[in-house]
Amino acid sequence: MSLVQGFSTSIYVGYETIQYLVYFFGFSLRKGLFGIMDSPISPKKSLILLQIYQGIIAFTVAIFYCFFTNQLNKFAMYLSIISVSIKIVGFFVTFIVYYRRWNDKIKVELIQTKKVE
């Protein structure tokens, strides 16, 4: 495993990890579990900010990993396993978030139709 492959793998895994952590905890912990969905800034801006934060942190993690470890072969294998598990967890977190938003939308529509009647 070359240094470039280990570097790119660690960037990818760092990027994915930060993405799902931010999705899960939201931008601020006081906003609750899915705070990102209730963010006062627009969803487009929050996603752009999320991408910037992910890129910076993943790049930093990758640099530290590559320069402070000599075992790229073993660790890259572990990183790919971690990456797949993060993808699976991320799928479920995304599903829960969208289900929650969809459920809230239906509740609001039901309340509005009851008010009209």
Would you kindly state where each structural domain of the chain is located, as residue ranges? 3-116
| Separation of alpha carbons 93 and 22, rounded Å | 11
pTM for this one?
Answer: 0.32
**Burial class (CB within 10 angstroms; exposed 0-12, middle 13-18, buried 19+) of 6:** buried
Section 47-51 average pLDDT: 60
Mean local confidence (pLDDT), 41-66: 61
Residue 71, by phi and psi: left (phi above 0), alpha (psi -120 to 50) or beta? beta
pLDDT digits (tens, 9 = 90+) for 13-45: 666 666 666 655 555 444 444 444 454 555 555
* Position 117, amino acid: E
Average pLDDT over residues 93-115: 68
Exposure letters 27-44 (e unless 16+ CB within 10 A, then b)? beeeeeebbbbebeeeee
| Residue 9: count of CB within 10 angstroms of its CB | 23
- Give Cβ neighbours of residue 35 (< 8 Å, ≥ 6 apart): 25, 26, 27, 28, 29
